[in-house]
Amino acid sequence: MIQIFCDFDGTITKSDNIIAIMKQFGPPETNVIKDQVLAQEISIREGVSRMFALLPSSLKEDIVNFVKETGIIRPGFPEFVQFTKEQCLDFYVISGGMDFFVHPMLDGLVERDHVYCNATDFSGTHIHVDWIHPCDGHCGNACGLCKPSLIRKLGKPGAMKILIGDSITDLQAAKLADKVFARDFLITKCEELGIPYTPFETFADVQQELAKLLEVAR
Ligand SMILES: [Mg+2]
Ligand SMILES: [Zn+2]
């Protein structure tokens, strides 16, 4: 059995939606927080919480519309999801993004019970992030949504685990996978750490490689 764990921002979509949202709607302070996260002075969890806490809840519809208009799905993704269904491969989206933009973009493509992301609460004056998939006892990185913890939780014994991702937030998950499809910064990190990977640009690339793998397995 094969289980596929796929990142959302920068992997299924062409660019990072949180960064785009903050550029469009965030006050200048969000930039300072972003730099603190990148410099690893504060955790991703703390940084992202603080950035969303600067956005008024009343912006919800505007942000959803903005992401729907500007977020571009990487070519080959709908066909790839269809392929995983035909081949009975378990496909999961594990995203550090927020439910209010991840779900609208994936509805009609991936069933919601196979999409793992953060929850958000708009009942207060500003957006509050609920970290509903936190780090388990094996991870002390304050990830926010913890990808390695989710793989440990969802992973079935004996299954071949495949990770598809693009950035530093996918690195710990890549270490747990049997096969990694990487692009962008994740390639740099895999090279540095000697983690074997297959580069990809579209999901047609991933599909082609997986088809070959299934041929060999047969
Ligand atoms: Mg990403
Ligand atoms: Zn973690």
Q: What is the pLDDT of residues 140-179, one digit of tens each?
A: 988 999 999 999 999 999 999 999 999 988 999 999 999 9
Whole-number Å distance, alpha carbon 217 to ligand 2 midpoint, is 32
Q: Please determine, for residue 39, whether its predicted confidence score (pLDDT) is greater than 90.
A: no
Closest-approaching ligand to the CA atom of 94: 1
Of the candidates 211, 117, 198, the one whose C-alpha atom is nearest the C-alpha of residue 164 is 198
User: Counting ligands in written order, which one lies closest to the CA of residue 117?
Assistant: 1
**Which amino acid does the sequence have at 105?**
M
Burial class (CB in 10 A: 0-12, 13-18, 19+), 66: middle
Q: Tell me the pLDDT band of 25, cut-offs 50, 70 and 90.
A: very high
Strand partners, 130: 119
What angle do helix axes 60-70 and 17-25 make, rounded to 10 degrees?
Answer: 130
For the chain, give the mean pLDDT. Answer: 95
Pick the CATH number of 2-217 from 1.10.10.10, 3.20.180.10, 3.40.50.1000, 3.30.559.10: 3.40.50.1000
Task: Identify the band that residue 4 occupies on the pLDDT scale cut at 50, 70 and 90.
Answer: very high
Q: Which residues lie below 8 Å from residue 28, measured CB to CB, with a gap of 6+?
A: none
**CB atoms near residue 72 (< 10 Å):** 11
- The domain limits of the chain are 2-217
| Nearest-angstrom CA–CA distance, 4 and 23 | 31
Write down the pTM of the prediction.
0.94
Residue 23 pLDDT more than 80?
Answer: yes
Segment 172-201 mean pLDDT? 97
CA of 218 to the centre of ligand 1 (A): 32
Reported confidence tier of residue 217, pLDDT bands at 50, 70, 90:
confident
pLDDT the model gives residue 218: 66
Residue holding tokens 């096969």? 179
Ligand 1 centroid to residue 6 C-alpha, Å: 9
Asked if residue 79 has pLDDT above 70, the reply is: yes
Q: Report whether 71 contacts 54 (CB < 8 A).
A: no
- Spacing, Cα 94 to ligand 2 middle (Å): 13
